[in-house]
Amino acid sequence: MKPRAHTAAVAAAACALLAAPPARADWARITSASPGTSAGEVNLLRTTDGTLHLVWRSTLTSYRHRLDHRTIAGDGTVGATTRAAQDWLEMSDPAMTAGPDGLRVLFGGIHTAHPDEINTELNTALSLDGGATWGLQDGSISGPGTGVDDSPVAAATQADGVPLTAWANPTGTWIHRGVDPLVAPVNIQTQLGGVGVRPGVATVGTRTVVAWYASSGSTRGVYAQEVAADGTAAGAAAPMPGISGTRAAMPGRTPVASRVGGKVFVAYAAGSGATRRILLWSVGAARARVIARASSAAVAAVTADPSGRVWVAWTTRVGSRYRVLARRSDAGATRFGPLVDAGRPSTGVTVARTLDVSAAGDDLDVLAGYSKAGSSRVTTYYSRIAAR
């Protein structure tokens, strides 16, 4: 897109924002409606049959944890909740992959306080029936020392069908290939120093990329690390352009997505003032594209459809409430269309905390975590929107 056309498109999006309706009723509640249950960030996985699988951590008033799973069919129908794991002492936000062996959920956690407990770090459960039932693998995938028991994880399936999992905490930013506990995790934070936060993972063909926010003083910002086929770091981590002035990480996993043709994209809300720039970066490019501008502590997300069109979504505050906006590219991922307003849930929630998206044909499935003002209890809602 030429610079003048690019600027005009962003300005047009801002004008559309001011005129858009403030709320929509067609948001379905996804996570538990129980007043005594809190939920973590939902992780999304679209399988080849078009089903969108959702998994998240639920914490009960007894401070025990479980993994909940739901599906959204190709026509937008929301399925019932099933349990992937339950009654855990500690548990992190999970991730899902699909491979030759079935649907897999990966998560950090400590199952019990028993001194001989064998599930204490990175764990996995497998479903052979599309998420209806799950079986826990005996023993942790990773050994002690990586602090994954309460660290949110991200994962993707590499070209050979083996999952690659990533997580970050004060001990490092870690990647681990497969489910064999004899395979040592790799710390990709060492090259940067400081601390990593909530990585995301994307794969396309033989390419795997991990993206995360690093909060060290001299290398603060978002980074992308290419990962080799054997699960080790390939080369040095690359910094995302335009992020250096962003002093804090967005909540939720770092949004990273792949498209046909081998490109991997990272979206991020850049800046630390009243206005955020919604940036989209093709990993390895010298510059990031400004998709829109948002107010306050915005959250961004990115996905691509099978034809290669890239969706970027973000939250912005209007008055005291946040709503979700999005734009979709052409098939070449070079030009972006007009702004689409998804509105917000028409309930009492006002603050958007997390945002995750998945392309559903020509439409976009949006999963937004909202809370009431002053509350840390997050509820995730679902809506489907269409490009304009």
Residue 307 and residue 305: Cα distance in Å, rounded?
6
Q: Can you tell me the distance from the alpha carbon of 72 to that of 79, in angstroms, rounded to the nearest whole number? A: 6
pLDDT at 281: 98
188, two tokens: 């990709």
Q: Which pLDDT does position 4 carry in this prediction?
A: 33
Structural domains of the chain ordered from first start: 3-32+145-386 (2.120.10)
Q: Residue 91 and residue 110: Cα distance in Å, rounded?
A: 6
- State the pLDDT at residue 348: 76
User: What's residue 33's pLDDT?
Assistant: 61
Digit-by-digit pLDDT tens for the chain (388 residues) are 333 334 344 434 444 444 444 445 489 999 976 667 889 999 999 999 999 999 999 998 788 999 999 999 999 999 999 999 999 999 999 999 999 999 999 999 999 999 999 999 999 999 999 999 999 999 999 988 899 998 999 999 999 999 999 999 999 999 999 999 999 999 999 999 999 999 999 999 999 999 999 988 788 999 999 999 999 999 999 999 999 889 889 999 999 999 999 999 999 999 987 789 999 999 999 999 999 999 888 999 999 999 999 999 999 988 878 899 999 999 999 999 999 999 999 887 888 899 999 999 999 999 999 988 877 788 999 999 999 8
Q: What Å distances lie between residue 22 and 17, 285, 297, 325, 328, CA to CA?
A: 10, 36, 18, 11, 21
- Token pair 């001011």 is found at 18
pLDDT of residue 34: 67
Q: What one-character-per-residue DSSP string does 187-251 give?
A: E-STTT-S-EEEEEEEEETTEEEEEEEE--SSS-EEEEEEE-TTSSB-SPPEEPTT-TT--SPPS
Tell me what pLDDT residue 294 has. Answer: 94
Residue 128, amino acid: L
Looking at residue 201, its pLDDT comes to: 98
The reported pLDDT for the residue numbered 35 is 67
For the purposes of burial, counting CB atoms within 10 Å of the CB of 61, is it exposed (0-12), middle (13-18) or buried (19 or more)? exposed
pLDDT the model gives residue 11: 39
**Integer CA distances (angstroms), 309 to 158, 184, 255, 287, in order:** 22, 37, 16, 19
SS3 123: strand
Q: What is the DSSP string of 161-192?
A: S-EEEEEEETTEEEEEESS-TTSPPEE-STTT
Structure tokens at 275: 């206005």
Closest by CA to 371, choosing from 346, 352, 345, 347, is 352
Torsion on CA atoms 8, 10, 12, 15, rounded to nearest 10? -140
pLDDT at residue 15, rounded to an integer: 40
Q: Residue 128 and residue 139: Cα distance in Å, rounded?
A: 19
